[in-house]
A and B are shown apart, each in its own frame.
Chain A
């Protein structure tokens, strides 16, 4: 508890310190974040504690990075205020304080986006949907208060508060159909890289935390659980799909966040609908591992974009540095769901839990997790291609020379953390550890289980160790590989063209043109986010209707005022009598 108080004090002081001196604000925030991580590790009671570790690590790395990145007067105070809000929301058990923290987190982010705006509406879209999220959560909390009579997070006897609040959290997570508003990518597209990192990695983490916390307190609802499971699956697919066809580095990463949040939501769905306690426990751990994997990797990748000269992947021009190259590859591997990284374990566990659920349900309902699993698998395919695109065009092509070491080192550290994190998951999956002596693996396996019987298994440790050992052995025996470099042969013609990131993903723009409403014109190929387009149309219709309604019926005429009063009186009387 002392650690938590110290952490909150330091985080609380950091905005004030940042107002006086930008660097001191970031230092205070870094120190507070480090203590927050310590608090999460030393007070590990259940899977929710892992959220503290994840959030603390994101803030720590981002704050240290900001020391070498931020040159804007107001960014420091706003950034640290937002982190303070998140810390409050994560650590409180009071519903109202949670909401207060939630707003403290959102409003500075809105101001930051407004300060860095490229378009007038991006900050308003962010704020509009941020407040929609808050209103829904508030409604859910109020209903919770009505049911329990307590303003604390308390066990519920009905799922309604959870359902209402869940929609609020899902808006914040950018889940389908709220993805269509594109607030997340738009907001990130305009925000500085350090703010983007906390927006994407830890702000959505707070929403996931709230959703998971409510889910733990709610009777497990079958139908709504399946809805969350399915919606999560489609979010994975569409998030990855739109990320793949994006050439703006931050928009790409923003859509990738939608994809990851979709995966987390699916895992929450599995938890709510799991037929066995073992499977529920497995999926709960998976939620936490997914959150940790996404938070760290997404932080690193957003910080990576801070080293680009511009945000377009077509011509990114990134710092030429081996450290950031290695870090970037490791982070992208995790986001691609590749072993032995943290993301690899999380993706495996999610798919395993879906297939285990389908197996254990053993009914027509099995089709839901099977179809969802298949959709997620397709989405993961897009995710891998997306990350490959990001790394190729951000780290291999178009480099610019620089002697900077600190920021690339931060990226490398995050990459190594995510690599080692894969093997650290043994700690979280403790009840599911196993070995298979017959295969020469006496220990070191994480076995997915839905009852006492193992369903499948992986070993991130062996995947980490074996290639390294074999590689080291090969080098020891044969020596360092000789690399022969030759000039690029371009059919005898001078080499003055380069493959573009746009071309990389254009096959999908053409093949899935009906889904993306691909338009090929003189200016190039354009795709449309159909969900955003639909939302935009509905919003415009609503505005038009409101304007018409207000001019016709709310135009300050006395006659209409009297009619309102009479109607209100009638409604009031009916309600009272009823």
Chain B
């Protein structure tokens, strides 16, 4: 499989098969580029951070002549530093709270990095459980992204319907795992599962979603807002944005869980329009695909065998090394690098998908108009909460 660039992670560039130290400066800023200097008549319009319309606090500086957006820069409003000077169990709690919507993805990537560092392979059921959690997260996220798009179009009925479905997914997750955002579910020992996953309900949710989804796809007004909006065709894109451009980019094919995905017969979803509409199409297909994958997993609560953990804990104090964990979160590649020095965590690097998507969003906004901004923004499924995070 072709090596692909995923993004910048600390002082490194993360590729699909290796991590490389940055030697030359590359534009990875969250600013769209269209020439230098300010043309006469242009102005900087500040959108946010405390402006309505978007779920999170986002500060956008939009350079415009009026309607036409020349450049846009997005600043993470909420900068957070997370201390790594504590126990792994405590750090895990912070990791899953970096972005509650992608908690399972974050924790899985973090734990995989840790396991890779130590050279530990978790039991297959644990891996299947993590896959199921990520796929459940994907269903919920794609429903929410679709809802956000319909809300910006002023479609109150499908919007409310989708919010209801998001809530239903949350309840399914909550009943099975004890927490609707997977908080406290994953530990070093495995994962917690209180109840069997309610697959019939999940199927009903997805069926209802598909009905709503087909309805909004029939609406020309809605489609017009998405088609041609936020064109992304650059090679270093990730997630649904890359797949909407027809690229075979998916950590489920080349990430740490690729083997499992391959075994259960994962089918990649793609489109060929590179725009917000393409991203919606990919998400719509992925909801059904995720349901199909979950149905094949037959997961149950599982913990490491005692022998694994004992050997691990015994070796912790003298261990020095590092590992990388990468999974396909609902918005694309999510990676953690964990460095360990003499048994304690000395370095944690995070590459959240929203960081890459933010850059893609900015580059795709040049030439757009204000009306298209919220649609393009939502189509990337960006969560600002995970962008401004630094582990120190």
Q: Using CB atoms and an 8 Å cutoff, list the residues of chain A in contact with chain B.
A: 247, 314, 490-493, 497-507, 510, 520, 522-525
**Nearest CB to that of A525 among chain B residues?**
B65
- Interface pair A498/B41, CB less than 8 Å apart: no
List, in ascending order, chain B residues with CB within 8 A of A524's CB. 39-42, 65
A490-B46, A493-B46 known; A507+B41 contact, CB < 8 A:
no
- Interface pair B39/A523, CB less than 8 Å apart: yes
- Interface pair A522/B66, CB less than 8 Å apart: no
Question: Can you give 8 contacting A-B residue pairs, CB < 8 Å?
Answer: A491-B48, A491-B51, A500-B43, A500-B65, A502-B65, A503-B67, A522-B39, A524-B65
Other contacts beyond A492-B50, A493-B46, A525-B41: 10, CB < 8 A: A247-B41, A500-B43, A503-B67, A506-B68, A507-B66, A510-B67, A523-B39, A524-B41, A524-B42, A525-B65
A247-B41, A500-B41 known; A491+B50 contact, CB < 8 A:
yes
B26-59 CB mask vs A (1 if < 8 Å, else 0) is: 0000000011000111111111111100000001
- Interface pair B41/A497, CB less than 8 Å apart: no
**Nearest CB to that of A523 among chain B residues?**
B39
Provide the bound-state CA to CA distance between A502 and B35, in Å: 19
**Nearest CB to that of B50 among chain A residues?**
A491
- Interface pair B59/A491, CB less than 8 Å apart: yes
List, in ascending order, chain B residues with CB within 8 A of A497's CB. 43-46
List, in ascending order, chain A residues with CB within 8 A of B59's CB. 491, 493
Q: Using CB atoms and an 8 Å cutoff, list the residues of chain B in contact with chain A.
A: 34-35, 39-51, 59, 64-68, 367, 369
**Nearest CB to that of B47 among chain A residues?**
A491
- Interface pair A520/B367, CB less than 8 Å apart: yes
Provide the bound-state CA to CA distance between A523 and B70, in Å: 11
List, in ascending order, chain B residues with CB within 8 A of A498's CB. 43
- Interface pair B48/A499, CB less than 8 Å apart: no
Provide the bound-state CA to CA distance between A201 and B304, in Å: 91
List, in ascending order, chain B residues with CB within 8 A of A503's CB. 41-43, 64-67
Provide the bound-state CA to CA distance between A504 and B59, in Å: 23
A491-B59, A507-B66 known; A502+B40 contact, CB < 8 A:
yes
Provide the bound-state CA to CA distance between A500 and B43, in Å: 7
Provide the bound-state CA to CA distance between A247 and B43, in Å: 15
Whole-angstrom distance between the Cβ of B94 and the nearest chain A Cβ: 27
Provide the bound-state CA to CA distance between A503 and B68, in Å: 9
**Nearest CB to that of A494 among chain B residues?**
B46
Could you count the A-B residue pairs with CB atoms below 8 Å apart for me: how many are there? 68
A314-B40, A522-B34, A524-B39 known; A510+B46 contact, CB < 8 A:
no
List, in ascending order, chain B residues with CB within 8 A of A314's CB. 40-41
Whole-angstrom distance between the Cβ of A91 and the nearest chain B Cβ: 46
**Nearest CB to that of A499 among chain B residues?**
B43
**Nearest CB to that of A490 among chain B residues?**
B46
List, in ascending order, chain B residues with CB within 8 A of A490's CB. 46
List, in ascending order, chain A residues with CB within 8 A of B50's CB. 491-492
Provide the bound-state CA to CA distance between A525 and B50, in Å: 30
- Interface pair A506/B67, CB less than 8 Å apart: yes
List, in ascending order, chain B residues with CB within 8 A of A493's CB. 46, 59
Whole-angstrom distance between the Cβ of A197 and the nearest chain B Cβ: 27
Provide the bound-state CA to CA distance between A502 and B45, in Å: 14
Whole-angstrom distance between the Cβ of B210 and the nearest chain A Cβ: 36
**Nearest CB to that of A489 among chain B residues?**
B50
Provide the bound-state CA to CA distance between A499 and B65, in Å: 9
- Interface pair B43/A491, CB less than 8 Å apart: no
List, in ascending order, chain B residues with CB within 8 A of A520's CB. 68, 367
List, in ascending order, chain A residues with CB within 8 A of B48's CB. 491
Please provide the 4 A-B residue pairs with the shortest distance between their CB atoms, ordered closest to farther. A502-B41, A503-B66, A524-B39, A506-B66
Residue with the greatest number of chain A CB neighbours at <10 A, chosen from B34, B39, B41: B41
Whole-angstrom distance between the Cβ of A265 and the nearest chain B Cβ: 32
**Nearest CB to that of A511 among chain B residues?**
B67
Whole-angstrom distance between the Cβ of A239 and the nearest chain B Cβ: 22
Residue with the greatest number of chain B CB neighbours at <10 A, chosen from A247, A499, A502, A507: A502
Whole-angstrom distance between the Cβ of A307 and the nearest chain B Cβ: 22
- Interface pair B67/A507, CB less than 8 Å apart: yes
Provide the bound-state CA to CA distance between A522 and B35, in Å: 6
- Interface pair A506/B65, CB less than 8 Å apart: yes
**Nearest CB to that of B38 among chain A residues?**
A524
List, in ascending order, chain A residues with CB within 8 A of B51's CB. 491
Provide the bound-state CA to CA distance between A506 and B34, in Å: 18
List, in ascending order, chain B residues with CB within 8 A of A247's CB. 41
Whole-angstrom distance between the Cβ of B235 and the nearest chain A Cβ: 25
Which of B34, B44, B49, B66 is in CB contact (< 8 Å) with A502? B66
- Interface pair B68/A525, CB less than 8 Å apart: yes
Whole-angstrom distance between the Cβ of B378 and the nearest chain A Cβ: 20
Provide the bound-state CA to CA distance between A507 and B370, in Å: 10
Provide the bound-state CA to CA distance between A505 and B65, in Å: 9
Residue with the greatest number of chain A CB neighbours at <10 A, chosen from B35, B44, B46, B59: B46
- Interface pair B68/A500, CB less than 8 Å apart: no
List, in ascending order, chain A residues with CB within 8 A of B367's CB. 520
- Interface pair B49/A492, CB less than 8 Å apart: yes
